[in-house]
Amino acid sequence: MPSIIIDVEPVIIDWIMRYAHAVKNAEIIDNLLKWKNGEKKPTFNQIETVSKATHIPLGYFFLKSPPNEDFPILQYRTINSIETEELSRDMIDTVNQMDSIQNWMRDYMLDAGYDKLHFVGSSHAEQDMQDIVRHFREVLQIPPDWHSQMTTKTDAFKFFREKLVKVGVLVMMSGIVGNNTRRRLNIEDFRAFTLVDDYAPLIFINANDSLGAKLFSLLHEAVHIFLGINSLYNDRYGNADRVSAVETLCNAVAAEVLAPNNLFRDEWNNLVTQDIMSKLQMLSAIFKCGNIVVARKALDNHFINKDQYESIVDEAIKQFYRYSGRSSGGDYYATTATRLDNRFLLALDNSVKEGKTQYTDAFRLTHTNRKTFSKLLDRVRGDD
């Protein structure tokens, strides 16, 4: 059977090549260049191959002009740079999936007669930082010395995640797109993002980040919900000179919740050692947060200078990349249950049982099938 030759518009090829370079596949790039200059025309099978490699929907290849992919979240990126002028296909698919989940949850809440969440947008950027901190703690019922109840950073992340979920925030976390382990999310693209909504505000955390960074991102994004401002967090806390006033405020509130300044100063002064790195590591263990957070607190309190701070940040980044990418595998259902908000899963199951949501939609939203969806729910309920 002869191959089907397809005419692809040059402007479409140009548009596709912007994403194809991220794939780093020489054969794909070479084919696209030959299609562009007319040296050869693609077959349908070749277009399918490029579509799968670039994660660009097949239908886009047959358009007369590039699709209008409007992503308002871009305007909320922390660092306004050329590198973040466009979203990667991995992030586009992740944002779309989270948007679908949020829309479903919003409809579910409205149908069930829930009221708007009172704390969404209840603070504003002109407020005193300490006032926002007090309100934040009050809503989430977090004592200033919360860290004294925790043993590890993992406990701390779980503690804050559960507090947010309890008041109605959807908290999702994954290191891959959907359930595709070959599409690993890059922390250079984003560390977290927030989609604000009065009924179903959603935070997504890039699971490939360090534990301390994920904890800080979770708090930083939660503050965005209190301010009622969407967020695309593509920075590491430490570049305070490069971010907007809103981002600086979110950083300050998150850091104060994690390590209240009066307690931080007391702990710093009570430590016998004079070695800066030893102090930072001890304080990181005490407050269950990353070295960069405690280093920033030390800088703001004039315990260290800017050069010391920047050196600590550089070393923390190097250490992260030294150990990133290592995976121990693990239980599929435990991992999936961690990725998805449990309240969302239980609401979805309830809706399916009531006949309001089709199983196919439930599987699509959770990237599962009938068997894995059922086992996942057993794990969430503690039946497995």
Specify the residue for token string 């690993």: 184
Asked if pLDDT for residue 282 goes beyond 50, the answer is yes
pLDDT in tens, 326-356: 555 567 788 888 899 999 999 999 999 999 9
Using 50, 70 and 90 to split pLDDT, how confident is the model at 106? Answer: very high
What's the whole-number mean pLDDT along residues 234-245?
Answer: 64
pLDDT top residue among 104 and 324: 104
Q: Give the mean model confidence (pLDDT) for residues 104-110.
A: 97
pLDDT of residue 1: 47
What band does 379 get if pLDDT is binned at 50, 70 and 90?
Answer: confident
Cα angle for residues 18, 20, 24 (degrees, 5° grid) = 125
Stretch among 5-19, 181-195, 219-233 having the lowest mean pLDDT: 5-19
Cα–Cα distance between 239 and 237 in angstroms, integer? 6
Where is pLDDT greater, at 115 or 66? 115
pLDDT at residue number 74: 66
Q: Which residue has the higher pLDDT, 34 or 146?
A: 146
CA proximity to 47, closest of 16, 86, 11 = 16
Q: What gap in Å lies between CA 205 and CA 187, rounded to an integer?
A: 10
User: How confident is the model at residue 202, as a pLDDT?
Assistant: 98
Place of tokens 């894995």: 372
Give the pLDDT mean for 155-173.
97
113 Cβ neighbours under 8 A, 6+ residues apart: none
Please tell me the predicted confidence (pLDDT) of residue 322: 72
Contacts 24+ apart (CB under 8 A), 222-225: 222/136, 222/140, 222/160, 222/164, 222/169, 222/254, 223/123, 223/132, 223/136, 223/249, 223/250, 223/253, 223/254, 224/194, 224/196, 224/250, 225/119, 225/120, 225/169, 225/194, 225/196, 225/201
Q: Is 3 exposed, middle or buried (0-12, 13-18, 19+ CB in 10 A)?
A: exposed
Contact predicate 315/307, CB 8 Å: no
Report the interhelical angle of 359-366 vs 342-353 (nearest 10°).
Answer: 170
Mean pLDDT value across residues 156-163: 97
Give pTM, 2 decimals.
Answer: 0.90
Query: Looking at 242-251, 322-331, 351-360, which range is the least confident one?
Result: 322-331
Mind listing the pLDDT tens digit for each residue in 44-70? Answer: 888 898 888 888 889 999 999 988 777
- Which residues is 177 bridged to in the sheet? 180
87 — pLDDT class (breaks 50, 70, 90): confident
Quick one: pLDDT at residue 221? Answer: 96
Q: What is the mean pLDDT of residues 231-238?
A: 71
Quote the pLDDT of residue 6: 80
Of 55, 48, 62, the closest CA to residue 87 belongs to 55
pLDDT mean over 95-118: 96
pLDDT of residue 242: 64
188-215 pLDDT, tens digit per residue, is: 888 999 999 999 999 999 999 989 999 9
pLDDT digits (tens, 9 = 90+) for 74-86: 666 665 543 445 6
Q: How confident is the model at residue 132 (pLDDT cuts 50, 70, 90)?
A: very high
- 43 phi and psi, to 5 degrees? -90, 165
Greatest mean pLDDT among 221-225, 240-244, 377-381: 221-225
pLDDT-derived band at 24 (thresholds 50, 70, 90) equals: confident
In which band, very low, low, confident or very high, does the pLDDT at 34 lie, cut at 50, 70 and 90? confident
Show the 3-state SS of 214-274: HHHHHHHHHHHHHHCCCEEECCCCCCHHHCCHHHHHHHHHHHHHHCCHHHHHHHHHHCCCC
